[in-house]
Amino acid sequence: MISFKLVRRNLTKHKMRSALTIASLMVGVFLLCVLKSMVVALESGVAGAKRDRLVVQSAASLFIGLPLPYQQRIAEVPGVQKTCKWCWFGGYFREPKNFLGAFATDSDTIFDVYPEMEVIDGSIDDWRKDRSGCLIGDLLAQQFDWKVGQTIPIISANYLPPSGDAWQFTVRAIYKSESSAVDRRTFFFNWDYFQESFEKVMKRTPDTSTIVMRTKPGADQNEIMRTVEGFYENGPQRVQCTTEAAFQAQFLTMMGNVPFLVTSIGSGVLVAIALACVNTMLMAFRDQAHDVGIMKALGFTDGGVSGFMLGQSMLLCIVGGGLGILLVKGLEPAFMAFLGSVFPGYAVTGRTLAVAALVTVAIGLVAGVVPAIAARRLRCVEALRSVE
């Protein structure tokens, strides 16, 4: 049985080398977890989708909207509880880099269709009563330090404001959401205000980007989807109706290769840190050959000395990997704030950590296997003769 103390002593004898190897591992494992968490973020919209919601959008293009009269007809389909329309506003605050997820929506039905939204400041009624009022997510309020009662100018990339250079909205309520289907950085405002301003400039009624419906419990969703699509098979604007999950997923496939790219980069990182560890273990073996010879002469078995080398490798990797895991979990809140706008839903899941732990152990084994075998094979006499 190889003593843990012996293993540990050998590693502390070469502090710099051990420290560097541990540091490489820590940094590598940290990055792997961050990458995986970013993928989790990208997929979170899909993961959090509610099963009782269906989304209606134009079958032709994401850029084209649905005529308003559609909503009435859809609402009357049996099995539909409530409907709510969302129109992409293309809003940003001061500069394009502060792009928001901003939507004109139905203030009277949104909370029925999205029961997971909860108002934590201000009131729904205030918002409904104020034409130019807005409802914002708590993280958005935090990001720009907006408070209930404050008037904020929002520029729309798509729509000219009713006057001046920017649309003026007053914050009337702040919400929090439990599921990732509704992002906590979204900006909602009253449909009527939007319609009024649009009609003045474009001289026609606006279309809406999507119509979301909440189905009654036990309703046949496939039937509803078929019915709605059937209504408009011959126009004026053909539609497609999907579950909320499918709707979110379409954004993911548009990203194309990004999730794949991000995950495959992980392999590159793995290669780099595995190499660092293998290098270290080979060096360790080179200057411990003499010691191994002595151990064998004293009576340690082949299995024992090879376990000794493997033990060093595992200890290095476990410490390094462990530190990396601690670091990524510890920095999770900071990253959520920092990456929140680009990767909302960033989270270090238990699964990510499990994968990281597995990877660490695997590297420990890979790095330790060659010196372990070499130690096993080492002939006592030769090793003792090699005085540098």
Closest CB to another protein among 13 and 131?
13
> Of residues 17-56, which lie at the interface with another protein (CB under 8 A)?
17, 20-21, 23-24, 27-28, 30-31
CA distances (Å), 354 to each of 126, 258, 358, in order? 47, 23, 6
Which position among 1, 76, 217, 234 is part of the footprint of another protein (CB under 8 A)? 234
> Of residues 271-330, which lie at the interface with another protein (CB under 8 A)?
271-273, 275-276, 278-280, 282-283, 286-287
CA distances (Å), 86 to each of 56, 212, 237, in order? 10, 8, 17
- CB proximity list for 33: less than 8 A, separation 6 or greater: 324, 325, 328, 348, 352, 353, 356
Which position among 50, 128, 176, 238 is part of the footprint of another protein (CB under 8 A)? 238
Site string for another protein, 67-96 (x = CB under 8 A): -----------------------x-----x
* Min dist. Cβ of residue 112 to another protein (A): 29
User: How many C-beta atoms lie closer than 10 Å to residue 120's C-beta?
Assistant: 11
Closest CB to another protein among 156 and 306?
156
Residue with tokens 């039905």: 109
* Min dist. Cβ of residue 228 to another protein (A): 16
CA distance 250 to 266: 24
CA distance 134 to 224: 32
DSSP state at residue 208: B
Contact segment (CB under 8 A) with another protein among 5-13, 116-124, 196-204, 297-305 equals 196-204
Closest CB to another protein among 202 and 294?
202
Contact segment (CB under 8 A) with another protein among 102-110, 246-254, 307-315, 357-365 equals 246-254
- CB proximity list for 30: less than 8 A, separation 6 or greater: 324, 327, 328
- CB proximity list for 174: less than 8 A, separation 6 or greater: 119, 120, 121, 122, 135, 136, 137, 138, 141, 148
* Min dist. Cβ of residue 30 to another protein (A): 8
Closest CB to another protein among 58 and 360?
58
Helical segments of the chain, H only: 4-13, 15-47, 69-75, 110-113, 124-129, 138-144, 191-202, 221-231, 244-255, 258-298, 302-330, 332-339, 350-377, 380-385
Residue with tokens 């990339």: 157
Which position among 63, 298, 333, 334 is part of the footprint of another protein (CB under 8 A)? 63
Which position among 148, 269, 373, 380 is part of the footprint of another protein (CB under 8 A)? 269
Which position among 5, 72, 217, 256 is part of the footprint of another protein (CB under 8 A)? 256
Summarize as ranges the residues that interact with another protein (CB under 8 A): 16-17, 20-21, 23-24, 27-28, 30-31, 58-64, 90, 96, 155-160, 165, 202-204, 234-238, 250, 253-258, 262, 265, 268-269, 271-273, 275-276, 278-280, 282-283, 286-287, 342, 388
